[in-house]
Amino acid sequence: MATLFEQLSINGMTLHNRLVRSATWEGMCEANGRPTQRLINCYRSLAQGSVGLIITGYAFVSPEGKQLPGTMGIHGDDFAIEMRSLTGAVHEQGGKICIQLVHTGGQTDSKNAGRRPLAPSAVKVDQFPEQPDELGKEEIARLVAAFAAGARRAKDYGFDAVQLHGAHGYLINQFLSPLTNRRSDEYGGSVENRGRFLLEVYRAVRQAVGNGFPVMIKLNGCDHVDGGLSAEDALTAAKALGAEGIDAIEVSSGTPASGSQSPVRTKIDTAEQEGYNLALAKGIKAAVGCPVLAVGGFRSFAVAQQALAGGLDGIALSRPFIWEPDLARRWQGGDTARARCISCNGCFRPGLKEGGIRCVVAEKPA
């Protein structure tokens, strides 16, 4: 039985513990996606806090795939100096850092994308701000190549791994979902066809970085929306990835249209509310041979440890590290009190107006 503070190896990348900082939009980049010193300092503090692996906020691989202001870009070569400073800051503290690659597809808007959004199908659904344009096959090929180019840059800049964002209603997830993918060609219809874009992206990324470099995915285990990706079809996608050689799967769920079952749930007050993706993660773990991580509401040392005892390989947290970047160090030092995060989502509100996320609760006077 693994414990939180045992090492974990993912295709040659050795983590000194099994606590992962799950990808979090920080809002700390310039308008064009260039990382700022504030973002570099954010990752440095996480590495100082002994988190096993830092996964960056989602980095757009093509400009029209950007969703929010302050998002990091990996779409060109102009940010090489800042990117290498970022990875260097983490490595100086003994940490590991993985960049998350994304195209947000129909979940962006014309203002942030600089054009009408692109999606598998030109349908307006609740999770889309506006009706997108349908991707043509040449555009699909261009985006597959953009993911591969982003991964190549990431390896060159010193990142220790890449993670594909296949969750939360973004483009890879949109192809997988029957709700957002109404295509009648080889990219639509059966779950195998809906998974074609995902596998093309994975294969192109793998070719770009080689077999010895970790390629991971954040995958929805279920969309929790009527007509969306089902748990059964997600399991099929996970098995296909496992057969292709994916190095690790982080299991999440939900989209912005999932109501109380959204990816970022609030009012997690008890241990029973924690780990809300555990059942989905365990199902995928039973079907694949690679390491499987679960994200979703972990706040207690005991609940995280129980998840590992149940067969998972790692635990991913996001919001708790915004208040306590040293949470891993605190738990390892013997203070295993519950994370201070109250799951209010107040941390994201300053990011849109004030240049970056921060815990607003921690700033209140005692």
Residue 366 has pLDDT above 60, yes or no: no
The dihedrals phi and psi of 333, each to the nearest 5 degrees, come to: -75, -5
Q: What share of the chain is helix, strand, coil (3-state, %, to 5)?
A: 35, 15, 50
Q: How far apart are CA 360 and CA 47, in angstroms?
A: 22
Does some domain include residue 364?
no
> For 140-151, what is the mean pLDDT?
98
Residue 170 has pLDDT above 90, yes or no: yes
Q: How confident is the model at residue 365 (pLDDT cuts 50, 70, 90)?
A: low
Kindly report whether the global pTM for this prediction surpasses the value 0.95: yes
* Structural domain boundaries enclosing 145: 8-354
> For 329-344, what is the mean pLDDT?
93
* pLDDT score recorded for residue 38: 95
* pLDDT score recorded for residue 355: 76
Residue 362 has pLDDT above 80, yes or no: no
Does some domain include residue 3?
no
Does some domain include residue 140?
yes
* pLDDT score recorded for residue 269: 86
**Model pLDDT for residues 267-308, shown as the tens digit of each residue:** 888 889 999 999 999 999 999 999 999 999 999 999 999 999
CA distances from 297 to 227, 234, 267 (A): 25, 21, 10
Q: How confident is the model at residue 351 (pLDDT cuts 50, 70, 90)?
A: low
Does some domain include residue 1?
no
Does some domain include residue 258?
yes
What's the CATH code of the domain at 53? 3.20.20.70
Does some domain include residue 33?
yes
Does some domain include residue 360?
no
Residue 59 has pLDDT above 90, yes or no: yes
* Catalytic residue selected from 43, 58, 157, 170: 170
Q: How far apart are CA 49 and CA 58, in angstroms?
A: 21
Q: Has 187 been annotated as catalytic?
A: no
* pLDDT score recorded for residue 361: 84
Does some domain include residue 2?
no
The tally of domains found in the chain comes to: 1
